[in-house]
Amino acid sequence: MAHQKALVVPQPHAKFEVANVPIPKPGKDEILVKVHSTALNPVDWIIQKSAILVSEYPAILGADAAGVVEEVGEGVTKFQKGDKVFHGGDLNNRQGTFQQYTIVPADFAAKLPNNISFDQAASIPLCLMTAAVGFYVKDGAGLQAPWDGGEGKCSGQSILIYGGASSVGQYAVQLAKLSGFSNIIATCSAHNADLVKSHGATHTIDRNADVAAETKKILSEPPKFIYDAVSSADIQKQAVEILAPGGTYLLVGFPHESLSTVKDKKVYRVYGSPYTDRELGASMYDKLTAFVETGKLKPTNIEVLPDGLAGIQAGLRRLEENKVSGVKLIARVQE
């Protein structure tokens, strides 16, 4: 059996280490991808530290990848060996992306357009899907996705996005623009205001300001939608007070206990995986190449880490210590 290098968590709560593991084989409707670039996400260090969401050890994490199709499984017709692709991972050892070869369902991969690199493409899947699930699944905001005819359908409406310079926040801003929101207000650090506006925000508010007061200066009535890519307890309490009655509050973190008493507003916790809504995932990936190729969706700024797989742990430590701003950390796993 052929082997590869992977970054693994050997046992619950243990530190990451590089190990040799078998290269998985693609099954029906799956492809095997030789990973060139993978992105780091806060969930990776949270899983490693807390021993949640995975039950198989040693565990291979990682939720974003870009690379080259090495092998196609039975029934796959949209890809062939040698195609450049990008895709999200899943929480199992076959599909984690902190390894040199990984498995992905063909429906949840997109061909890499010529205008972006492997490194840039790896910044897209998980964070874009996290924004998309919040906006477009029925239990979330229930809006019509732009790749399914919903482009521009939210004209005249307003949205407030917390954490507009975060990786998820940047894609939430872009999707809000594609959906046609007339007022897109995003919180961010002052030095990231131009970045957030370049993605489509019509207004930015310094994240340390009185967001409620600043929002009232911009809007004549409360926003009906809030997307919270930060989800701290204080922001959750503030957000539901700002939100219009009957409005929808989308948050990426666990809801604070105070939200259990909210009666006249919808609260939805976003989990950014195509497996939460396979139809949305497949439709997004079906159109994703074209949306990136035309510039309707743009990758976030990136920072490439040194030392390949071995450099991931130091990058995750920076994420844990909140020492990353406005960029997505990328590792080149073949190094």
Residues 63 and 151 in one domain: no
pLDDT value of residue 258 = 87
CB atoms within 10 A of CB 257: 9
- Please indicate, yes or no, if residue 283 is contained in any of the structural domains: no
Residues 116 and 146 in one domain: no
> Strand pairing of 183-188 and 101-105?
unpaired
How far is 270 from 252, CA to CA, in rounded Å? 5
Residues 24 and 63 in one domain: yes
- Please indicate, yes or no, if residue 45 is contained in any of the structural domains: yes
Q: In the 3-class helix/strand/coil scheme, how is 17-39 assigned residue by residue?
A: EEEEEECCCCCCCEEEEEEEEEE
CATH number at residue 207: 3.40.50.720
- Please indicate, yes or no, if residue 303 is contained in any of the structural domains: yes
- Please indicate, yes or no, if residue 278 is contained in any of the structural domains: no
Range of the domain at 102: 3-124+299-332
133 with 140: CB under 8 angstroms? Answer: yes
Write the pLDDT tens digit of every residue in 157-179.
999 999 999 999 999 999 999 99
Write the pLDDT tens digit of every residue in 78-128.
999 999 999 999 999 999 999 999 999 999 999 999 999 999 999 999 999
- Please indicate, yes or no, if residue 290 is contained in any of the structural domains: no
Last residue of a domain, one of 214, 249, 269: 269
Task: Kindly state the tokens that stand for 334.
Answer: 């073949």
Residues 97 and 194 in one domain: no
298 with 174: CB under 8 angstroms? Answer: yes
pLDDT value of residue 64 = 97
- Please indicate, yes or no, if residue 155 is contained in any of the structural domains: yes
Buried b (16+ CB within 10 A) or exposed e, 128-155: bbbbbbbbbbeebbebebbbeebbeebe
pLDDT value of residue 1 = 77
Residues 29 and 100 in one domain: yes
198 with 180: CB under 8 angstroms? Answer: no
Residues 94 and 188 in one domain: no
C-alpha count within 13 angstroms, C-beta hemisphere, residue 129: 29
Residues 204 and 158 in one domain: yes
Beta bridge partners of residue 9, listed in sequence order: 59
Write the pLDDT tens digit of every residue in 78-87.
999 999 999 9
Last residue of a domain, one of 254, 269, 284: 269
103 with 24: CB under 8 angstroms? Answer: yes
Residues 240 and 326 in one domain: no
Write the pLDDT tens digit of every residue in 260-287.
888 899 999 999 999 888 999 999 999 9
- Please indicate, yes or no, if residue 181 is contained in any of the structural domains: yes
Residues 132 and 263 in one domain: yes
Residues 196 and 218 in one domain: yes
The model's pTM = 0.96
Residues 166 and 258 in one domain: yes
Write the pLDDT tens digit of every residue in 235-259.
999 999 999 999 999 999 999 998 9
Residues 189 and 89 in one domain: no
Domain count across the chain:
2
Last residue of a domain, one of 269, 285, 319: 269
CA-based nearest residue to 48, from 21, 9, 19 = 9
Beta bridge partners of residue 60, listed in sequence order: 8
CATH number at residue 68: 3.90.180.10
- 185 phi/psi in degrees, rounded to 5: -100, 130
Q: Is the dihedral of CA 56, 59, 64, 66 positive or negative?
A: negative
- Please indicate, yes or no, if residue 292 is contained in any of the structural domains: no
